[in-house]
Amino acid sequence: MTLTDLLPALQNLPRPDKLRAMQFLLAELARDEGLALIPDATYEIWSPLDSHQAAHQLTALLDEAETRKTYQRLA
């Protein structure tokens, strides 16, 4: 079966089966990369949700982009 054949079948799956397919594919990709994922285990991921440093960096980048846009309009 090719990916072209598989995609329409995946679209027709119910949501829980789509999630299981994603879990399967992620585990396969991890295995290909030599990572050992334990089935049904939970893994922490980093999120910038409560990161004040990330908020400051984003604000600085947005300010810099706005400054560049202003100078481009004046030029």
Q: Helix/strand/coil (H, E, C) string of the chain?
A: CCHHHHHHHHHCCCHHHHHHHHHHHHHHHHHHCCCCCCCCCCCCCCCHHHCHHHHHHHHHHHHHHHHHHHHHHHC
Instruction: Count how many residues are written for the chain.
Output: 75
Average pLDDT, the chain: 87
| Cα–Cα distance for residue pair 58/14, rounded to 1 Å | 37
Per-residue pLDDT band for 49 (boundaries 50, 70, 90) equals confident
Give mean pLDDT, residues 29-52.
82
Q: Is the pLDDT of residue 75 over 70?
A: no
- Predicted pLDDT at 50: 79
